[in-house]
A and B are shown apart, each in its own frame.
Chain A
Amino acid sequence: MKSLQPTPTPIVQINTLTKIFRDFWHRPKARAVNNLSLNIYPGEIFGLLGPNGSGKSTTIKILLGLLHPSSGTVTVLGSKPQNVITKNEIGYLPEESHLYKHLTARESLDFYGKLFDINKEERRKRTDELLDMVGLTHAADRMIGEFSKGMARRIGLAQALINDPKLIILDEPTSGLDPIGCRQVKDLIIALAKRGKTILLSSHLLADVEDVCDQVTILFNGSIRASGSVTQLLEKRDSIRLTIPTLSPEKLKEVLNVIRKKIGSEPEIDHPSLNLEQFFLQVVAKANETEAENMSGAASDTKVAAFLKTENQQPKINN
């Protein structure tokens, strides 16, 4: 049990964090993060999960000092997010490419390396290795302005690692990547964690999170709806699952009759497939019911915009 071990100091501590975006007249526009508290411990792969607009990126930007909290406290590697020194230990991959268009891939990595005061030889070595790792050695001397979205994203990932950071913050690391790229990034994340890095990643791609994360927090409307380890979350405590080989219909009937007699209610029969996806959908559906109005995120109803007509609803054209 965890409580028996000495608790390590968290690398990231968020305490009752709230972020309200305000307009020019200081009127609130959106409550992006609402009373959020969480800790990320060394060596963890921490997944921030949530629908669009649930406050994942906002939380990350606050951790990086790019946004200021409206209330609450944030500590990253023991200091405030604004601290310049601790930035030496952080790597960040933003949601979209924020690279300089007029630099080549190699020059970009070299440039960011200089900002970490890495010496020339080491920069060259790291640049070569990173280019190789993200599979862009062949495009090393092309301008980033010419890169495809996925290529730019790979360079983004490479620059996040140039300083060999302790804490790696990845905002939707697999977005824009092809399936092979996705798989590679996930493997990379696991490999980095094995080397002792702490990783915070945000995603709405459930498979990503399920595949790599130790800890998951599900955000909705800026607050936490569920959190814990993936196995914990997916455990249904009020029921157990008996996994047995598939039976013939007669045998199954017999077994069910015995169970009915013993517990007095109808057992559920399915194939063992409850996964994070189902769980996530349940959580969001529940949250949607309880929430009076959706203050920040995108609505999750699947409605088609009214002006888009289906074929048999075409207005008749008068000749």
Chain B
Amino acid sequence: MKTNTIKKITAIAALTIKQAVRSKTLPILAVILPAVIILIVLTIKGDGSATGQIRMAIKYSLGIMWLIMGIATLSAGCASIAREIEDKQLRLIAVKPVHKYEIWLGRWFGWLAINAGLLIICGLTLTAAVHYKVNSQNLSATAKEKLHNTILIGRLRITPTPDNVDHEVDVLLKRLKASGKIPTDTTDEEECNLLHKKLIAAKSIVAPNAEKKWTMTIPKAVSQEKNVSLKLELHSPTRNEKPISGTLTISANKSAAEPLFKTEINQKYNTIYIVDIPSATLANKENITITFKNGSPDKSKTLVFTPGKSVELLITKSSFTANLIRTMLIILCYLAVLSALGITTSAIFYFPVASFIAIAVIMAGITTQYFVFASDPAHKVEHHHHGHEHEQPKPPGITEKTGELILNKLIIVFEPARQGNILQDISSGILISWHDTGRAIVILLLLYSGILGIIGSYILSKRELAALN
């Protein structure tokens, strides 16, 4: 980029910031946001426990901060160019040697800087407020340590490889077909899905004296880490007050005789079992197998493990501060997309209309999430089997077909924007990695904002800026 391009963009960005300051937008946000964060952190109750309180405090204060900043950014964006066209200031810019993309970028960078500044203020406020809250509560040393080891931390979560039941499904399907037990109105695909679900469910039940094995792939960078703990959710389908007992082993592969780690469990039912694992256990391992043997003699002590959720390795990778910085960076990327959307709609439409359109786009983005779920084939099957007595489903009509087509396109547009639930993660001490952050920067900051920027500046360059007199 030429230096004079940068100079012009900087001039417009600086103008944006000056306007935000002098119109009182920025000072008001800079007071309201920290106030809201302090209020939430100091007053929220959560489930009563210290960890619960801090978790809720982080989650909700960041959530509300994000919401307020999102609304402010979007409305500022929607007003920006549209109002400048109506108030005619843009005419004086357009007759200077300034490209339309420089105007767009200037506005966008201006708000990026404003948001970055606000996020720094909010991050510092949140850190201070949480620190104050933790220290003002007369917590025991162990309770504080627990907070710092579980919530105020960034831990990488490794979950087991999902059980592969494809082969078993095939075998079963063949057998069922041979015996003619499949209902005539069910397709092979539907039957497959059903069998799949049934088998996975069966595998998650562990009867007394039975075993359950999980395999995990350990990322290369992890095997040297110091603090590793294993978390196991022990659920029993029956209400039985007697404790659960069993043996937990970690071995290098499925058949290894000598386990790397072994521990006995004696725990109340429906609790989470957490055990620290010596760091040497994972050294230079690519795969490990975790085995739980249900040691309860009691017949009623059958355990259920929710697939994909009941066991995980947590590896300390980062401090809370570093994790918070990355969270803020990802939030900044989202805000950048909102401001890009606002500026682009305001380059196309006049002021209030621009806001409606931008909000409609965001709504579409949010709701397609639910459409993805509704069009999931597994979900359809369930419906179908519930309604055996119902009439045969009609073949989809033209409206449904076009609807589905549009939906599929929308999903393609919005799907990459989804970055996982970062608020859930940061408030549970789960690592938000640099990889996640980089992904957000590339997809949200560069790709989405870039595309919106190209659309916005192109249309702006084609418009008659003096069309309103």
Question: What is A's interface to B at a CB cutoff of 8 Å?
Answer: 61, 64-68, 82, 84-85, 87-88, 90, 92, 94, 96, 98-100, 102-103, 107, 111-112, 114-117, 143, 159, 163
Which A residues are in CB contact (< 8 Å) with B8?
114-115, 117
Given contacts A66-B466, A111-B11, A117-B4, contact A102 B18 (CB under 8 A): yes
B95/A64 in contact, CB under 8 A: yes
Question: What is B's interface to A at a CB cutoff of 8 Å?
Answer: 4, 7-8, 10-11, 15, 18-19, 22-23, 87-89, 91-99, 461, 464-467
The complex places the Cα of A112 from the Cα of B464 at a distance, in Å, of: 21
A47 → chain B closest CB, angstroms: 20
Which B residues are in CB contact (< 8 Å) with A100?
15, 19, 89
The complex places the Cα of A107 from the Cα of B97 at a distance, in Å, of: 19
B18/A84 in contact, CB under 8 A: no
Which B residues are in CB contact (< 8 Å) with A65?
94-95
Residue of A nearest to B99 (CB): A84
- Pairs across A and B, CB under 8 Å, 29 listed: A61-B466, A66-B91, A67-B464, A67-B467, A68-B464, A82-B461, A84-B97, A84-B98, A85-B97, A87-B95, A87-B98, A94-B88, A94-B91, A94-B92, A96-B88, A98-B89, A98-B92, A100-B19, A102-B18, A102-B19, A103-B15, A103-B18, A111-B11, A112-B92, A115-B93, A115-B97, A115-B98, A116-B97, A159-B92
Given contacts A66-B91, A66-B466, A67-B466, contact A87 B96 (CB under 8 A): yes
The complex places the Cα of A159 from the Cα of B7 at a distance, in Å, of: 18
B58 → chain A closest CB, angstroms: 36
Which B residues are in CB contact (< 8 Å) with A67?
464, 466-467
B397 → chain A closest CB, angstroms: 34
Which A residues are in CB contact (< 8 Å) with B87?
98
Given contacts A92-B92, A159-B92, contact A87 B97 (CB under 8 A): yes
B140 → chain A closest CB, angstroms: 54
B11/A114 in contact, CB under 8 A: yes
Which A residues are in CB contact (< 8 Å) with B96?
87, 112, 115-116, 163
The complex places the Cα of A61 from the Cα of B95 at a distance, in Å, of: 10
Residue of A nearest to B90 (CB): A98
The complex places the Cα of A316 from the Cα of B99 at a distance, in Å, of: 65
A102/B23 in contact, CB under 8 A: yes
The complex places the Cα of A103 from the Cα of B94 at a distance, in Å, of: 18
A115/B11 in contact, CB under 8 A: yes
Residue of B nearest to A145 (CB): B22
Which B residues are in CB contact (< 8 Å) with A61?
466
Q: Top 9 nearest A-B pairs by Cβ distance?
A: A114-B11, A66-B466, A117-B4, A102-B22, A87-B97, A115-B96, A98-B88, A98-B92, A61-B466
The complex places the Cα of A66 from the Cα of B464 at a distance, in Å, of: 6
The complex places the Cα of A213 from the Cα of B337 at a distance, in Å, of: 52
Residue of B nearest to A60 (CB): B466
Additional pairs, 10, CB under 8 Å, beyond known A65-B94, A115-B11, A117-B7: A66-B95, A67-B464, A67-B467, A84-B98, A94-B92, A98-B92, A99-B89, A112-B96, A159-B92, A163-B96
The complex places the Cα of A266 from the Cα of B87 at a distance, in Å, of: 59
The complex places the Cα of A158 from the Cα of B427 at a distance, in Å, of: 56
Which B residues are in CB contact (< 8 Å) with A98?
87-89, 91-92
Residue of B nearest to A96 (CB): B88
Which A residues are in CB contact (< 8 Å) with B23?
102
A66/B465 in contact, CB under 8 A: yes
Which A residues are in CB contact (< 8 Å) with B97?
84-85, 87-88, 115-117
B88/A114 in contact, CB under 8 A: no
The complex places the Cα of A66 from the Cα of B18 at a distance, in Å, of: 26
Which B residues are in CB contact (< 8 Å) with A66?
91, 94-95, 464-466
Among B15, B87, B95, B98: residue with most chain A CB under 10 A: B95
Among B8, B11, B99: residue with most chain A CB under 10 A: B11
B463 → chain A closest CB, angstroms: 9
The complex places the Cα of A143 from the Cα of B22 at a distance, in Å, of: 10
The complex places the Cα of A83 from the Cα of B75 at a distance, in Å, of: 32
B222 → chain A closest CB, angstroms: 50
Which B residues are in CB contact (< 8 Å) with A159?
92
Which A residues are in CB contact (< 8 Å) with B466?
61, 66-67
B268 → chain A closest CB, angstroms: 64
The complex places the Cα of A145 from the Cα of B353 at a distance, in Å, of: 27
Residue of A nearest to B467 (CB): A67
B349 → chain A closest CB, angstroms: 13
The listed residue (A68, A82, A99) touching B92 by CB distance below 8 A is A99
The complex places the Cα of A107 from the Cα of B21 at a distance, in Å, of: 15
The complex places the Cα of A159 from the Cα of B93 at a distance, in Å, of: 11
B348 → chain A closest CB, angstroms: 15
B75 → chain A closest CB, angstroms: 17
Residue of A nearest to B23 (CB): A102
A59 → chain B closest CB, angstroms: 12
Which B residues are in CB contact (< 8 Å) with A117?
4, 7-8, 97
Which B residues are in CB contact (< 8 Å) with A107?
18
Among B22, B23, B97: residue with most chain A CB under 10 A: B97
Which A residues are in CB contact (< 8 Å) with B98?
84, 87, 115
The complex places the Cα of A87 from the Cα of B7 at a distance, in Å, of: 17
Which B residues are in CB contact (< 8 Å) with A163?
96
The complex places the Cα of A103 from the Cα of B15 at a distance, in Å, of: 8
B137 → chain A closest CB, angstroms: 45
The complex places the Cα of A159 from the Cα of B22 at a distance, in Å, of: 22
Which B residues are in CB contact (< 8 Å) with A103?
15, 18
Which A residues are in CB contact (< 8 Å) with B4?
117
Which A residues are in CB contact (< 8 Å) with B22?
102, 143
Residue of B nearest to A88 (CB): B97
B101 → chain A closest CB, angstroms: 11
A48 → chain B closest CB, angstroms: 16
B339 → chain A closest CB, angstroms: 19
Given contacts A102-B18, A102-B19, contact A114 B94 (CB under 8 A): no
The listed residue (A64, A88, A111) touching B15 by CB distance below 8 A is A111
Which A residues are in CB contact (< 8 Å) with B19?
100, 102
The complex places the Cα of A135 from the Cα of B415 at a distance, in Å, of: 59
B19 → chain A closest CB, angstroms: 5
A92/B18 in contact, CB under 8 A: no
The complex places the Cα of A82 from the Cα of B4 at a distance, in Å, of: 19
Which A residues are in CB contact (< 8 Å) with B467?
67
Residue of B nearest to A63 (CB): B95
Among B18, B92, B461: residue with most chain A CB under 10 A: B92
Which A residues are in CB contact (< 8 Å) with B99?
84
The complex places the Cα of A116 from the Cα of B102 at a distance, in Å, of: 13
The complex places the Cα of A29 from the Cα of B87 at a distance, in Å, of: 22
B257 → chain A closest CB, angstroms: 75
B12 → chain A closest CB, angstroms: 8
The complex places the Cα of A100 from the Cα of B7 at a distance, in Å, of: 19
Which A residues are in CB contact (< 8 Å) with B95?
64-66, 87, 90, 92
Which A residues are in CB contact (< 8 Å) with B15?
100, 103, 111
The complex places the Cα of A116 from the Cα of B94 at a distance, in Å, of: 12
A267 → chain B closest CB, angstroms: 49
Residue of B nearest to A97 (CB): B88
